[in-house]
């Protein structure tokens, strides 16, 4: 099979025509200051990567009580929306398409990251193992506060507001961060959700918050404006595991199918990130038959693995995280079988252009080589 046909066949996602099936996975980079306002540097970073079929932004918090990291961007103030406008304009001018990822930290946060030092919120008061990065260094995760039943509609509303703000900021769509142990994911797992009301217990009840959030997002511009990301099974860095992955995700996928979404995005377990071993079953194959619509996968894919996923029909789109971070022109490099830049793990979350907008493009490398 010709690789160009597999990776470079256009695809329809929502109301967009993607020129290829290579997606930039959402990646937190913590370069938007303490007030979470994107600027020209962030616009340059995303515009450099606009040959992706689709860009998904870093996780962005919808409300001050939902922040996970210092330097993380937000999407609730006028200034943040104006900052994101710079980004969407730059990407569109460069010919790209971009979705905003909406991210509520839930229990993966800390009072020093939240207004008035409040506790993070979660379905239940279950403390994550491990340590959190805070402005003064590192600390243990605190025990989160269980959301009261009457608060849940207000939290759902945060996702609707953020979607409206994303429309204002010129995004082509939004993605729910339903993965990696953050708030929506922590409702799904019976180990982090111990509730006895209609949001806990059965598969239907544990899926309720997640589905209410997606429906709130869909209410703004329809299903075609909304993608959803999940990371089934376990994500050890954020101390989340599931006991019934093979039951709850088929149910969730069936329910999401009815909403006519832009796509369902599955983060496969990564052997090399967070020391997570491979799942005992193939998560893409588990979910695929239950979701009627576009499916995207990522997680330690290289070119061969990405093509294999497309050829097997496990997914319609393939996303790359670290490879896109380090190679702004990744589609060209994949097409030409060119070598990839090495990923610098030390600059993932550091401020400034270093390790952000200064990864060389193939073209500049060739020009350099010709001069030498």
Ligand X SMILES: Cc1cc2nc3c(=O)[nH]c(=O)nc-3n(C[C@H](O)[C@H](O)[C@H](O)COP(=O)(O)O)c2cc1C
The nearer residue to ligand X, 300 or 350, going by C-beta atoms, is 300
Q: Which two tokens stand for residue 40?
A: 């020209």
Element (H, E) at 38: none
Catalytic residue, from 46, 182, 249, 263: name it: 182
Select from 23-31, 106-114, 328-336, 356-364 the region that touches ligand X (CB under 6 A).
23-31
* Residues 127 and 176: beta-carbon distance below 8 Å: no
Strand pairing partners for 145? 121
* Residues 269 and 277: beta-carbon distance below 8 Å: yes
Q: Which of 13, 22, 91, 179 binds ligand X (CB under 6 A)?
A: 179
How far apart CA 310 and CA 328 sit, in angstroms, is 22
Annotated catalytic residue 182? yes
* Residues 176 and 213: beta-carbon distance below 8 Å: yes
For ligand X, the binding residues in 219-278 under the rule CB under 6 A are: 229, 267, 270
Q: Which of 27, 156, 203, 365 binds ligand X (CB under 6 A)?
A: 27
Select from 21-29, 90-98, 140-148, 162-170 the region that touches ligand X (CB under 6 A).
21-29
Which residue from 364, 322, 363, 361 is spatially nearest to 344, judged by alpha carbons? Answer: 322
Q: How far is the CB of 197 from ligand X (least distance, A)?
A: 28
Q: How far is the CB of 243 from ligand X (least distance, A)?
A: 23
For ligand X, the binding residues in 285-304 under the rule CB under 6 A are: 298-301
CA distances from 191 to 42, 185, 201, 241, 269 (A): 37, 11, 10, 7, 19
The nearer residue to ligand X, 135 or 274, going by C-beta atoms, is 274
CA dihedral 153, 164, 101, 53 (to 10 degrees): 140
Q: How far is the CB of 302 from ligand X (least distance, A)?
A: 9
* Residues 57 and 30: beta-carbon distance below 8 Å: no
The nearer residue to ligand X, 206 or 229, going by C-beta atoms, is 229
Q: How far is the CB of 60 from ligand X (least distance, A)?
A: 8
For ligand X, the binding residues in 329-348 under the rule CB under 6 A are: 348
Q: Which of 7, 13, 25, 155 binds ligand X (CB under 6 A)?
A: 25
CA distances from 237 to 110, 180, 210, 228 (A): 15, 8, 21, 21
Q: Which of 36, 38, 59, 123 binds ligand X (CB under 6 A)?
A: 59
Position 49 contacts ligand X (CB under 6 A): no
Binding site for ligand X (CB under 6 A): 25-28, 58-59, 101, 177, 179, 229, 267, 270, 298-301, 320-323, 348
């Amino acid at each position: 099979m010709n690789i160009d046909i597999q990776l470079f066949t256009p695809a329809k996602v929502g109301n967009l025509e993607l020129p290829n099936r290579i997606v930039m996975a959402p990646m937190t980079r913590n370069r938007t200051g303490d007030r979470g306002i994107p600027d020209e540097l962030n616009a340059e970073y995303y515009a450099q990567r606009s040959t992706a079929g689709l860009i998904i932004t870093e996780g962005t918090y919808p409300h001050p009580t939902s922040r996970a990291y210092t330097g993380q961007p937000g999407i609730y103030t006028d200034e943040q929306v104006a900052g994101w406008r710079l980004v969407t304009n730059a990407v569109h001018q460069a010919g790209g398409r971009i979705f905003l990822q909406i991210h509520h930290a839930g229990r993966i946060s800390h009072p020093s990251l939240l207004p008035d030092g409040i506790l993070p919120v979660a379905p239940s008061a279950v403390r994550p193992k491990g340590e959190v990065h805070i402005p003064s260094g590192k600390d243990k995760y605190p025990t989160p506060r269980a959301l009261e039943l009457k608060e849940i509609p207000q939290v759902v509303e945060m996702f609707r507001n953020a979607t409206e703000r994303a429309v204002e900021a010129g995004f082509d769509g939004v993605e729910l961060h339903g993965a990696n142990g953050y708030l929506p994911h922590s409702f799904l797992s019976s180990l982090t959700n111990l509730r006895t009301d209609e949001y806990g217990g059965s598969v239907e009840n544990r899926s309720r918050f997640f589905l209410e959030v997606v429906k709130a997002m869909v209410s703004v511009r329809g299903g075609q404006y909304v993608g959803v990301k999940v990371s089934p099974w376990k994500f050890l860095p954020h101390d989340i595991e599931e006991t019934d992955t093979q039951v709850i995700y088929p149910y969730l996928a069936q329910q999401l199918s009815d909403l006519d979404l832009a796509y369902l995005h599955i983060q496969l377990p990564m052997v090399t990130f967070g020391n997570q071993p491979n799942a005992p079953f193939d998560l893409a194959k588990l979910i695929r038959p239950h979701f009627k619509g576009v499916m995207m996968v990522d997680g330690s894919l290289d070119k061969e693995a990405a093509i294999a996923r497309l050829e097997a029909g496990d997914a319609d789109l393939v996303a790359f995280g670290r490879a896109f971070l380090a190679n702004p022109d990744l589609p060209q490099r994949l097409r030409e079988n060119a070598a990839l830049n090495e990923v610098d793990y030390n600059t993932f979350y550091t401020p400034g252009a270093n390790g952000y907008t200064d990864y060389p493009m193939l073209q500049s490398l060739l020009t350099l080589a010709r001069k030498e």
